[in-house]
């Protein structure tokens, strides 16, 4: 099953999390959890990069930051709307991304949507649900030694976006690997002796649905990363190219996983139909063989039940002869069918 989180919002809604803010100066963390109104003051400083995270989103803060960064109305509407497709839109001074991070729990896959505005010195993330692992993303930023590298000075925004994209693609790859394990379990079910048809049908349908959803949200990641790596955009500096190329390679693996698993599931379903047909043939052979064996005494007793004289009519030896013929012919048929593996 696929659960795509959605909440209905209003202008007066209560937001699940307060805004999160951070500021780096030349790659060094300078401040965090400061008010949204102070974002403009940090953006005025040279060499300062600001991250703002809105969960809900918080509309007042969204209006403030959209005015501060001069965000296009269409992009803002996409950020606060739900179920937008995975995409990257280029504007004059910034890019807008819409991404989906999947989490798999058993057979259920939950998608967490995140939108991001990326400018020269700011990253604004807008997410609908607190289930998005934002703390894990912050942990990746804090553990990364790349912010302090001299050759990456001035690339703080690109490093922040790299961490975000790497997190999303890693979760997509983990989801694909989980579905690969589910496909292995489904394969075992198909070849089990008891052959649970209903369970096979239900799990194969759920798996195909999840694979379709994962492919829909992960396939555009290739185009997004290709666009970011383009030289004319001048967003990714040369030292960061291998980082983004690594994320691109992982996104290719997700696509290969989903395509291979879709083919595998289709082959398993074909195999299931073939095995079901073979099992039906086996059953028909056994039923037909037993019907042939039962037909022998039916024919003989029916013949001796006629109201006309026949050899042995009214004699004891006639009864024993008919019984001997029934047992002999039935035994011969049973032996013949058993030899041919029909029983």
62-71, 185-194, 269-278: least confident range: 269-278
Domain ranges of the chain: 2-274, 305-339
Residue appearing with tokens 């922040």: 160
Q: What is the pLDDT of residue 109?
A: 93
In this prediction, residue 151 carries a pLDDT of: 67
Helix (H) or strand (E) holding 127: strand 122-127
The DSSP letter of residue 119 is: -
Average pLDDT of the residues in 12-35: 80
Q: Which of 13-22, 191-200, 299-308, 328-337 has the lowest mean pLDDT?
A: 299-308
The answer, yes or no, to whether residue 305 has pLDDT greater than 70, is no
Quick one: CA torsion of 118, 124, 130, 135, rounded to 10 degrees?
A: 80
At residue 10, the pLDDT reads 37
DSSP assigned state of 12: T
Residues 6+ apart with CB under 8 A from 128: 5, 6, 7, 55, 56, 57, 82, 112, 113
Q: Count of CB atoms within 10 A of residue 333's CB?
A: 19
pLDDT average, residue stretch 213-232: 90
**Rounded average pLDDT over 68-84:** 84
pLDDT in tens, 172-201: 999 999 998 888 888 888 787 777 778 888
Residue 215 or 14, more confident: 215
CATH 3.60.15.10 assigned to 2-274: no
Question: Given a cut of 60, is residue 12 above it in pLDDT?
Answer: no
Mean pLDDT for the chain? Answer: 83
Confidence of residue 46 (pLDDT cuts 50, 70, 90): confident
Give 4's pLDDT tier (boundaries 50, 70, 90). low
Q: What is the pLDDT of residue 99?
A: 95
- For residues 213 and 175, the answer to whether their CB atoms sit within 8 Å is no
Q: Is the pLDDT of residue 92 over 50?
A: yes
Residue 9 has pLDDT above 60, yes or no: no
**pLDDT confidence of 11, banded at 50, 70, 90?**
very low
If one compares 255 and 299, the residue with the highest pLDDT of the two is: 255
Most confident of 41-45, 218-222, 310-314: 218-222
Question: What is residue 101's predicted lDDT score, i.e. its pLDDT?
Answer: 96
pLDDT at 7: 37
User: In DSSP terms, which residues pair with 148 in a beta bridge?
Assistant: none
Give residues with Cβ within 8 angstroms of 281, minimum separation 6.
none
Residue % of the chain over a pLDDT of 70:
88
């Amino acid at each position: 099953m696929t659960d795509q989180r959605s909440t209905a919002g209003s202008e007066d809604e209560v937001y699940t999390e307060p805004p999160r803010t951070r500021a780096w100066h030349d790659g060094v963390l300078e401040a965090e959890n400061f008010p949204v109104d102070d974002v403009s003051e940090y953006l005025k400083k040279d060499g300062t990069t600001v991250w703002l995270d809105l969960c809900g989103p918080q509309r007042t803060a969204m209006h403030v930051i959209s005015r501060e960064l001069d965000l296009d109305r269409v992009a803002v509407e996409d950020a606060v709307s739900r179920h937008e497709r995975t995409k990257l839109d280029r504007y004059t001074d910034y890019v807008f991304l819409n991404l989906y991070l999947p989490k798999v729990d058993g057979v259920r896959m939950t998608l967490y949507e995140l939108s991001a505005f990326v400018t020269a010195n700011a990253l604004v993330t807008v997410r609908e649900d607190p289930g998005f692992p934002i703390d894990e993303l912050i942990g990746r930023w804090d553990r990364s030694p790349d912010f302090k590298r001299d050759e990456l000075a001035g690339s703080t925004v690109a490093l922040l976006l790299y961490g975000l994209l790497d997190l999303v693609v890693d979760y997509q790859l983990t989801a694909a690997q989980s579905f690969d394990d589910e496909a292995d379990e489904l394969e075992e079910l198909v070849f089990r002796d008891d052959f649970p048809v209903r369970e096979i049908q239900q799990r194969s349908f759920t798996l195909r649905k999840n694979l379709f959803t994962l492919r829909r949200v992960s396939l555009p990641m290739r185009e997004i990363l290709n666009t970011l790596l383009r030289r004319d955009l001048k967003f990714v500096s040369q030292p960061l190219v291998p980082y983004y190329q690594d994320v691109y390679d992982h996104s290719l693996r997700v696509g290969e996983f989903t395509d291979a698993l879709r083919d595998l599931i289709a082959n398993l379903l074909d195999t299931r139909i073939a095995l079901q047909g073979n099992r039906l043939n086996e059953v028909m052979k056994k039923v037909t063989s037993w019907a042939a064996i039962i037909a022998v005494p039916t024919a003989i007793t029916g013949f001796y039940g006629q109201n006309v004289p026949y050899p042995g009519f009214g004699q004891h030896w006639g009864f024993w002869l008919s019984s001997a013929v029934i047992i002999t012919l039935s035994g011969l048929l049973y032996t013949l069918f058993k030899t041919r593996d029909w029983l």
